[in-house]
Amino acid sequence: MHIYFRSMFVGLGSLSLVVFAGCASDKHAGKPAVQMDPSEHGFVAGTGVESQDLVQVSDKMARSIIATPQIANAKNPPTIGLLPVENNTRFPIQKDIFNKRIKALLNSKCAGKVTFVARDRIDALKKEKSMKAAGEVTNTGEKPLLGVDFFLTGELTGLSSASSAGRSDYVLYTFRLIDAENSAEVWEDMDEIKKQGLEDAAYR
């Protein structure tokens, strides 16, 4: 009897090892992560705003901004501030990533043509100026904070529909340069992307 139970426990133990080994291998099953060009369509995709859309839209806007007469013909590099991008689509995206990439493109590819102000770091800048004025840190010469000639802002507007056949999403991307003195819109451009698919992806 003892021999029978011992054999049974050994058999169950072996079965448990096989089951747990199978669970462990299933956890890591599937294709490994691969690095892709952000401008490419990935195999994990939906009908929403994705990296290739960001690249396409921001590339177009940066080229358009640098070609507008108020920028291209300026004697001195115009100063640009960023205003939040409005997201009027159904997708919960990091909307200001468009402004960030446009700014990075202009700063890296068109150095000296425009100047961006770091208003998002204004508290740290004011503190540093106060410390310099008080003699707490070295000062190489007083410089006033730059004012803004133009504000860059944008809006994402979407149209969505769904049926038993699938889902369709259209997104209109519009961006503007607004004169900070008189509110005139000195530049505006747009891009539009429509996608259709059978399933929707989760966007965060």
- Please report the pLDDT score of residue 29 as a whole number: 58
Average pLDDT score over residue span 43-53: 76
pLDDT tens, 60-83? 999 999 999 999 999 999 999 999
Range 80-110 burial, b when 16+ CB lie within 10 A, else e:
bbbeebebebebebebeebbebbbebbeeeb
Predicted confidence band of residue 40 (pLDDT cuts 50, 70, 90)? low
Pure H helices in 87-200: 97-109, 122-133
Q: What tokens does 138 get?
A: 């070295």
Half-sphere exposure of 193 (CA within 13 A, CB side): 17
Average pLDDT score over residue span 89-93: 91
Task: Give, as one character, the DSSP assignment of residue 118.
Answer: -
Task: Give, as one character, the DSSP assignment of residue 111.
Answer: B
pLDDT tens, 157-198? 999 988 888 889 999 999 999 999 999 999 999 999 998 887
Q: Which domains, from first to last, does the chain contain?
A: 41-133+145-197 (3.40.50)
